[in-house]
Structure 1
Amino acid sequence: MKYLIATLFLFSLSYAQAEESCTSRAAEKKLAGAAKASFMKKCEKDARAACEVDDISKRTNGAAKEAHIKKCVRESVGE
C-alpha cells in the first residue's frame, strides 16, 4: 500500500512538472540571451529523451513515431 501511494505521489509530481513548458520556465527564471538559448536547448533535448521513452513511442514505428515525438517535444517546449 505504501508503495502504491509513493508511486502515485511521484507520478503526480512528474505530471505537474511536465505541464510546465520550457518557455514558461525560462520566463519564470527571467532568462535572456545566451543563458536562455542554452536553457532552451537543454530543455528541448531532455524533452525529446522523455518523449522517446513515452509509452506511445514504444508502440509505434516509423513516421507515426517521429510525428508523435515531434508533437510531444513541441508541447513540452511550448512553441
Structure 2
Amino acid sequence: MKSTIIAAAIAGLLACGTALAAETAQQSKMKTCNQDAGDRKGDERKAFMKECLSAKPAKATPQERMKTCNAEAAGKTGDERKAFMKECLSAK
C-alpha cells in the first residue's frame, strides 16, 4: 500500500515538474513585462503592464525569418524544400 502511494506521489511530482518546465509565450511575455516595469507602482504600473502585455511582437527581420524557415524546413529536400521556403519567407 505504501509503495503504491509513494509511486503515485513520485509520478505526480514528475508530471508537475514537466508541466512547469514548459514556459508558454504568454508566461514569457509576463516575465519580461514584469522585469521592464521595474519600480513602477499603482496606476502607473497597471497602465504599463496593460500596454506591455497587449503589445504585438515586432515583425521579424528577413534574417530572423530565414533562420526560422530553415529550422522548420529540416528534413525537406529538393523541390519540396524550395516550395516550402518560398511560402514560408513570403508569409506575412
TM-score, normalization: structure 2? 0.40
* Pair member with larger Rg: 2
More helix by share: 1
Which structure is higher in RCO with an 8 Å CA cutoff and minimum separation 6? 1
